[in-house]
Every structure is written in structure tokens, then in C-alpha cells.
């Protein structure tokens, strides 16, 4: 019992140290990420007491997913951005991230509260305006993230000694994140994420990826999470430039396979 208690205290101390360090790296994104995780808890609780559904799923599931995904992105970027020497640009990027993602969250939660879809919804003038505002907000965020990606590639020296695999993992993770963020434009253009059938059919639990048709969200999700996967791989496993390059090529081919599968109209499972 005493050993378990000591182990628990050690884990708590490590976790607390991580949060302190994350906050010191970028307080703006740290607090906004924390806000998003709190928002996810609220919407999860709402989904347990509110039975209203939109296209076959509880209306608070989508807000929960976006709170979680934005929170993860904010904390991930908060960790990486300290490595850039141009901290004025980092601050501007952080503020714009908060603004654009707040716009996104407000509209998603507003539409959920109204009992209508937020994405691809142009059924009324109001819905169309809100959908277009979301598109503009996410475009601004993505373009700014592309600029941050450029700065990571441009910068040759970093404040602290970092493994080459980790540096290139961050660079390529950001690059893939931006590329597959723009894939969202394809979904917006066709006003749907499914290929070969309508949205809203049977889907996987929580993620709701279609189990009947192709779903562009699979490659969108997997490609954007290169932002976490490749830097982690570069820090712990593929520690040289050539190793992370090879790992990134394999990862990209895997995501492109998922994209091709969706275009053919085949579900992930």
C-alpha cells in the first residue's frame, strides 16, 4: 500500500511539473487549451441528460469532439512554439488561434443548442452565413499555421539542443497538419464528408466515421494528428533526420491510402 501511495505521488508530481512547464512555454495557448478541455467535460455531461439527436447522434457529441481536438492542438502548439526565436510572431499566432477557434466553437455550440448541424448547413440564410464564417475562421487559422510551419523550416538553429529527428518531426508534422487541414476544403465544397452515400448513416462509436461509405474525415483526422505522432517518433525512436524522413514517408503513404479508400467510397471498417 505504501509503495502504491509513493508511486501515485510521483505520478502526480510529474503531471504537475508538466502543466507548469507547458504554461511557462505559452500561457495563452495553455489557458485556452484548458478552457477547451473544461468545455468538453461540460458537453459530455450535457450529452448524458439531453437526448436530442442531430443526424442520428446526440447533439453534444460534435461540440465535445471539437473542444477536445482544439484543446489538444493548443497544448501541442504551446509545447512546440517555444523553440521559435521570433516570439513576437508566436504571440500573434497564439492570439489569432484563440480568436479563430473561439469563433468556431461558438458557432458549433450555438447550432447544437438550436438542434441543427453546424457543418455543411446552408438550409437557411442564417445557417449559410454561420457556416461561411466558420470556413473563414478555419482558413485564417490554417494560413497562420502554414506560416509557423515555414518559420520552423526556415530557422536553422534552436535555443536548446534538440535531436534532429525531433526537429524534423515537428517540421513535417506541421506540414502534414496543414496539408490535411486544407482537405477540409474538399468536404466544404461537396457539403458532405461521406463519399458514395449521404451523411448521417451508421458510423463508428464517438468518431462517427461512416461504416457504410467512404469518409473523408478519416484521412483528415489521421493526417492532422501527424502533428503529435511525428515529433514523438522523432524524439523517442527515429532520432536522426533520415530515420524520421523514412517514418514520415510511411505515415504519409498510410494517410494517402486512407484518403484513396474514402474516394473509392469504401468505409474504414
Q: What is the pLDDT of residues 45-91, one digit of tens each?
A: 999 999 999 988 999 999 999 999 999 999 999 999 999 999 999 99
Condensed to tens digits (0 to 9), the pLDDT of residues 249-264 reads: 999 999 999 999 999 9
Number of neighbours of residue 152 by Cβ within 10 angstroms: 20
pLDDT of residue 187: 95
Confidence bin at 169 (pLDDT 50/70/90): very high
pLDDT of residue 17: 93
- Closest alpha carbon to 144 in 178, 113, 102: 178
Q: Residue 7: its pLDDT value, please?
A: 57
The mean pLDDT value for 204-232 works out to 94
Query: Rounded to an integer, what distance in angstroms lies between the CA atom of residue 206 and that of residue 190?
Result: 23
Helices 164-182, 226-236: inter-axial angle, 10-degree rounding: 170
For every residue of the chain, DSSP letters joined together read -HHHHHHHHHHHHHHHHHHHHHHHH-HHHHHHHHHHHHHHHHHHHHHHH---EETTEETTHHHHHHHHHHHHHHHHHHHHGGG-S-HHHHHHHHHHHHHHHHHHHHHHHHHHHHTS-STT--SSHHHHHHHHHHHHHHHHHHHHHHHHHHHHHH----SS---HHHHHHHHHHHHHHHHHHHTHHHHHHHT-SEESS-TTSSB-TTT--BSSSEETHHHHHHHHTHHHHHHHHHHHT--SHHHHHHHHHHHHHHHHHHHHHHHTT----
pLDDT score recorded for residue 45:
98
Rounded Cα distance between 265 and 197, Å, is 8
Distance CA 140, CA 137 (A): 5
**Chain segment 107-162, per-residue pLDDT in tens:** 999 999 999 999 999 999 999 999 999 999 999 999 999 999 999 999 999 877 89
pLDDT value at residue 159:
78
State residue 204's pLDDT score. 87
pLDDT band at 4; cut points 50, 70, 90: low
pLDDT surpassing 90 at residue 10: no
Helix pair angle (27-49, 2-25), 10° resolution? 120
Q: pLDDT by residue (tens digit) across 227-240?
A: 999 999 999 999 89
Amino acid at each position: 500500500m505504501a509503495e502504491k501511495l509513493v508511486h501515485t505521488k510521483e505520478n502526480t508530481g510529474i503531471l504537475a511539473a508538466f502543466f507548469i512547464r507547458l504554461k511557462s512555454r505559452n500561457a495563452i495557448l495553455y489557458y485556452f487549451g484548458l478552457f477547451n478541455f473544461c468545455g468538453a467535460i461540460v458537453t459530455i455531461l450535457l450529452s448524458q441528460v439531453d437526448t436530442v439527436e442531430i443526424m442520428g447522434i446526440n447533439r453534444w457529441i460534435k461540440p465535445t469532439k471539437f473542444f477536445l481536438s482544439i484543446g489538444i492542438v493548443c497544448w501541442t502548439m504551446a509545447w512546440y512554439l517555444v523553440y521559435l526565436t521570433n516570439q513576437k510572431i508566436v504571440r500573434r499566432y497564439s492570439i489569432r488561434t484563440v480568436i479563430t477557434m473561439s469563433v468556431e466553437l461558438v458557432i458549433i455550440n450555438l447550432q447544437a443548442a438550436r438542434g441543427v448541424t453546424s457543418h455543411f448547413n446552408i438550409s437557411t440564410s442564417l445557417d449559410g452565413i454561420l457556416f461561411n464564417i466558420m470556413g473563414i475562421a478555419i482558413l485564417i487559422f490554417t494560413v497562420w499555421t502554414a506560416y509557423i510551419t515555414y518559420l520552423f523550416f526556415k530557422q536553422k538553429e534552436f535555443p536548446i539542443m534538440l535531436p534532429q529527428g525531433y526537429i524534423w518531426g515537428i517540421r513535417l508534422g506541421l506540414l502534414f497538419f496543414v496539408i490535411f487541414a486544407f482537405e477540409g476544403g474538399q468536404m466544404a465544397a461537396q457539403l458532405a464528408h461521406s463519399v458514395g452515400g449521404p451523411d448521417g448513416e451508421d458510423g463508428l462509436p464517438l468518431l462517427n466515421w461512416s461504416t457504410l461509405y467512404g469518409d473523408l474525415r478519416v484521412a483528415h483526422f489521421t493526417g492532422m494528428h501527424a502533428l503529435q505522432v511525428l515529433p514523438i517518433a522523432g524524439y523517442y525512436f527515429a532520432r536522426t533526420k533520415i530515420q524520421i524522413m523514412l517514418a514520415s514517408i510511411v505515415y504519409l503513404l498510410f494517410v494517402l491510402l486512407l484518403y484513396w479508400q474514402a474516394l473509392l467510397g469504401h468505409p474504414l471498417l
